Amino acid sequence: MTKFTDLDLDPKVLKAIGEAGYESPTPIQAAAIPHALAGRDVLGIAQTGTGKTASFTLPMITKLAKGRARARMPRSLVLCPTRELAAQVAENFEVYAKHCKLTMALLIGGVSFKEQDKLIDRGVDVLIATPGRLLDHFERGKLMLTGVQIMVVDEADRMLDMGFIPDIERIFKLTPFTRQTLFFSATMAPEITRITQEFLQNPERVEVARQATTGENITQKVCIFKASHRSKEGKEKRALLRDILIQEGETLDNGIIFCNRKSEVDIVMKSLKKHGFDAGAIHGDLDQSTRTKTLDAFRGGTLKILVASDVAARGLDVPAVSHVINFDVPIHSEDYVHRIGRTGRAGRDGKAITLVLPFEQKYLTSIEELVEKQIDRMDPPGGTKAAEPEAKDEKSEKPKRERAPRKEREPKADKPAKDAPSDSSEKKEPSNKGNQRGGNRGSGNKTVGMGDHVPAFMMRSFEIKRATTRSTKKDDEAAETEQDETDAAEPSGTASDETAA
């Protein structure tokens, strides 16, 4: 069996490895470290939890042990997709480089720029960063990448999934062409091929396991669940989750529950705490101090259940995670491999349970095609509350109001007019108020007028002006001319008649 002493590492590095309790390298470490020490570009593929981080940290420390960093010009660069993974890589460097005089800076979001600027200004040998924060420092003129000798992209496929392709390409172009490049990931998406062909020079492909394989020491189960009603899916699914946690009992030392959405993470965490479970949440919308505090509590054993989004699915190293539960089936089948890879690490046994709703069956099919096997099914716990209808929520289900039946209106008798004779034998005419609006629609009744109660404005006299056209205007002018001639003739005729008289 190969030992670390056979890998031509720096004696100071070997001393730190021995103090950490490791003697033999993992297959990915044994295959990748010699090529990295030789200065070759490496494309490493291995399932999660096999020690990929040490595969590039150990040779980097050995190669950087000789030399000195200059201000604002780091000698090596490690890119990570998430803050948690970047912080974890930084911890590995601190462990393995504690006997070497190497400086390191961690550039992640949620931390003050001033503190990071101070570290960069002093000069760092190892710069560990997320792409966004790294470019922020570069655009502010606080960082130059022309001195990078070794560049590492950790969890390369996750970088692509998170939309970092433009940032990664830009960062590559900012570094020297002579750099050494190392790519490490559990899965290799087709898009990575273009990146490797463009930026890696004749890379050495190291693949110690088939792509997207899961550890044999992880027991995988699927619980197919159907809610009693679509509106109750969330409540009944959370009840099923609680019953599974209770059913696992003492075998559940600690566990990570994965959700697809950040909002769902908070809902599940609050539900578990409400029912007496020791749970915390971690997702991208939380500030960095809260995320770090929650993660440290989970690692330290003071927090039993961690509800997380996929921010914790990649590279998160908590050696003693006994259970992983997928509350939501991952939409991308590769994420399933990373999620369940949080358990069963370093040769330990682990268990992964996935809850599947009817509409998530297509995602489960994709996962089984990826891992090339059918995952064992399990029945929901016998006493689960998910199968029972829950109490009605007053806000979501309000009682419907019932309308009272309409009462038929009885026709009112017409009052006798004031001037009408009070003859009881006279037959009264039926009221016809209902026909005042709709008219006489075949009823045969006459429309009753307003009588004496006519509004005053309707009694006013007004003129109706005729619309004047060209033809009528000419006729009117001719008529006026004739009338003027007649009027002019009448006075003389009248005077002669009076004289004659």
pLDDT in tens, the chain (501 residues): 578 999 999 999 999 999 988 889 988 999 999 999 999 999 988 766 678 889 999 999 999 988 888 889 999 999 998 888 898 899 999 999 999 989 999 999 888 899 999 999 999 999 999 999 999 999 999 999 999 999 999 887 778 777 888 899 899 999 999 999 998 876 677 777 788 888 888 999 998 766 566 778 899 999 998 989 889 999 999 999 999 999 998 899 999 999 999 899 999 999 999 999 999 999 878 887 888 899 889 988 899 999 998 876 665 667 789 999 999 999 888 788 888 888 887 678 899 999 999 999 999 999 999 888 899 999 988 654 433 333 444 444 455 555 555 655 555 555 554 444 444 444 444 444 444 444 444 444 555 555 666 677 777 776 766 655 455 555 555 555 555 555 555 544 444 444 343
Which pLDDT does position 342 carry in this prediction? 84
Rounded distance between C-alpha atoms, residue 385 and residue 424, angstroms = 78
Where in the chain are all domains bearing CATH 3.40.50.300? 4-207, 218-387
Q: What are phi and psi of 441, to 5 degrees?
A: -90, 65
Let me know: does 245 contact 238? Beta carbons within 8 Å. Answer: no
| CATH fold label, 4-207 | Rossmann fold (3.40.50)
In three-state secondary structure terms, 53 is: helix
Q: Which amino acid is at 467?
A: A
DSSP state string for 78-139: EE-SSHHHHHHHHHHHHHHTTTS---EEEE-TTS-HHHHHHHHHH--SEEEE-HHHHHHHHH
Which pLDDT does position 223 carry in this prediction? 95
Which pLDDT does position 460 carry in this prediction? 73
Q: Which amino acid is at 472?
A: T
Which pLDDT does position 367 carry in this prediction? 92
In three-state secondary structure terms, 279 is: strand
Which pLDDT does position 48 carry in this prediction? 65
Which pLDDT does position 315 carry in this prediction? 57
User: Which residue from 328, 343, 337, 345 is spatially nearest to 368, judged by alpha carbons?
Assistant: 337
Which pLDDT does position 12 carry in this prediction? 94
Distance set, CA 307 to CA 259, 312, 384, 385 (Å): 7, 9, 21, 21
Which pLDDT does position 140 carry in this prediction? 92
Tokens coding 236: 């009944």
Which pLDDT does position 413 carry in this prediction? 53
Rounded distance between C-alpha atoms, residue 120 and residue 128, angstroms = 11
Residues 218-387: name the CATH superfamily.
P-loop containing nucleotide triphosphate hydrolases (3.40.50.300)
